[in-house]
Amino acid sequence: MEFRKHLQVKEEDHAYLGASKYHWINYDAAKLESTYRRFLKAQQGTELHEFAAKCIKLRQKLPRTPLTLNMHVNDAIGYRMTPEQVLYYSENCFGTADAIKFSKDFLRIHDLKTGDIPAHMQQLEIYTALFCLEYGIKPGDIGIELRIYQNNEILKEVPTPEMILPIMDKIKLFDKIIVTVKKEEGIV
């Protein structure tokens, strides 16, 4: 038997109702609809992040309105921020900031949230800790402003060194623990 070729499907593609995501088999119609709507919302969020990053990179401002995406893009352009910047401590701990700038001893990190779940500043505090670890900067030696753009609002935080230093310490400690476990398991 010769199997059919499905040229429209790439090897990395997965159908929503595929075998690898088998949980749907236990859903009723209402559960399927709600989970699929969340899936679509997540995909839209990914596309909006890509669009925002492209606008920031190209310095293409959006109409000046109190809409989440527009405020995020326009502020990032106004502050001359870098979009989608990876902040790296180790293979066990890194992340990508939606928009970041460090200039004149001042760190600014902005995050775009397109979902309905309330955002938490801890994510941006971790980005701050990663930045300080990667570039060897003490959080007490710089100014910091963190912003979350969500639901047509801007949440701001000015974290203290006492907020960031414990995160830096935990990253270092937990990274060592993971490295030790990897060695014990023969992964490294």
> Do the bridges between strand 153-157 and strand 82-90 make them parallel or antiparallel, or are there none, so unpaired?
unpaired
> Which residue segment(s) compose the domain that 124 sits in?
81-184
**Consecutive H or E run containing 124:** helix 122-135
Classify residue 33: in a domain, yes or no.
no
On whether the CB atoms of residues 178 and 188 are closer than 8 A, the answer is no
Residue 157 lies in a domain: yes
Instruction: Give domain status of residue 138, yes or no.
Output: yes
Distance CA 80, CA 57 (A): 9
In terms of DSSP H, where are the helices of the chain? Answer: 29-58, 68-78, 122-135, 161-184
pLDDT at 13 over 80: no
What number of CA atoms fall less than 13 Å from residue 185's CA on the CB side?
7
Q: 162 lies in a domain?
A: yes
Q: Which tens digit of pLDDT belongs to each residue from 120-143?
A: 999 999 999 999 999 999 999 999
Q: Let me know if residue 100 belongs to a domain.
A: yes
Q: Report yes or no on 89 lying in a domain.
A: yes
Q: Is the pLDDT score of 50 beyond 80?
A: yes
Domain count, the chain: 1
Model confidence at 49, pLDDT cuts 50, 70, 90, reads very high
